[in-house]
Amino acid sequence: MVVTDLAGGVARAGMRKVVRMPSVPAVPEGRLLELPGRGTTYVVDVPGPREDAPTVLLLHALGCTAYLTWYPVLEELSKTYRVVAFDQRWHGRGIRSRRFRLDDCADDAIAVLDELGISKAVVAGYSMGGLVAQLVAHRHPTRVTGLALCATARNFRGKRREKFFFPIMTLAMHPLSGYALSRVEKVAQHLPAAPNLDASTHAFGRAEFRSTSAWSMPEVLGELGRFNSAPWVGEISCPTAVVVTDNDHAIPASRQRKMAAAIPGAEVFEVHGGHMSLVLHTNEWREALVAALASVAKRRVRAA
């Protein structure tokens, strides 16, 4: 079977995450949250420096969890923002559903905000989370005050082999989706109610990485292959920043820059590294994200 740069790159990056996780002093505790009519997910809600601090909603990458993608930046972001992150469908302690659909993920994000009593937020997404973030802004524009799109693109089907791979993946997985879901549910049922929060040990990364069943990957990859925001991404009107990983073999920097060019007024922030820069080059990555969010906030104030 053809293996795309996306699938192969993410898989290789995932293995590195297990053995090269950056250490942080503490990881904030989360909780299970029921989203009425949708299901239960695991949410991390970190207070900001004051009650009226703006909210940033963080959407994680493929094969990850809220913690696994975002834990190295939670403390820094909480100095300015109320920070919310959650496990998306078919990932970690996220919702299990009959099929994985990015539209559902976008609506889940709004449901999380609703349950936490948050009317509006800046939405930041990494890789797969960047696709969901685009959809949140497209489907729920009145709820989004800004976007930070990181290591992501308008679609993942630019190369010839990708154009073959994703439809084949979709056809292959359709009759297996019920079995795949049962395997995802089996892994989820055996997870402890709360994750290990000691990020000073390799056990933290291993446990978070293994909390997402490998059976979720073909289903999710098929959906990623169907995604294409090119027809409407230019309609996004909220302040947007794009964090480009300039040596990215999973999602080439050229695609990231094309997305930025398609969004009116989007500002670009560069990180000199690959798809896992947030783990392998944490300090540079954190600085770029903080700068991107500050840019979005500044433009939001000017527009008000």
At 47-99, the pLDDT tens digits run 999 999 999 999 999 989 999 999 999 999 999 999 999 999 999 999 988 88
pLDDT for position 4: 41
What average pLDDT does this structure show over 17-28? Answer: 71
Higher per-residue pLDDT: 233 or 194: 233
Top CATH class, 5-303: alpha beta
Q: Is the pLDDT of residue 33 over 90?
A: yes
Q: Is the pLDDT of residue 291 over 90?
A: yes
Mean pLDDT check: name the lowest of 163-167, 195-199, 208-212, 242-246. 163-167
pLDDT for position 195: 78
What average pLDDT does this structure show over 96-116? Answer: 96
Q: pLDDT class for 250, splitting at 50, 70, 90? A: confident
Higher per-residue pLDDT: 44 or 23: 44
Secondary structure of the chain in HEC code, one letter for each residue: CCCCHHHHHHHHHHHHHHHCCCCCCCCCCCEEEEECCCEEEEEEEECCCCCCCCEEEEECCCCCCHHHHHHHHHHHHCCCCEEEEECCCCCCCCCCCCCCCHHHHHHHHHHHHHHCCCCCEEEEEECHHHHHHHHHHHHCHHHEEEEEEECCCCECCCCHHHHHHHHHHHHHHHHHHHHHHHHHHHHHHCCCCCCCCCCCCHHHHHHHHHCCCCCHHHHHHHHHHHCECCCCHHHCCCCEEEEEECCCCCCCHHHHHHHHHHCCCCEEEEECCCCCHHHHCHHHHHHHHHHHHHHHHHHHHHHC
Q: pLDDT class for 184, splitting at 50, 70, 90? A: low
At 115-170, the pLDDT tens digits run 999 999 999 999 999 999 999 999 999 999 999 999 999 998 765 554 444 444 44
Higher per-residue pLDDT: 168 or 298: 298
Please provide the average confidence, as pLDDT, over all residues in the chain.
85
pTM summary value: 0.86
Q: Would you list the domain boundaries of the chain?
A: 5-303
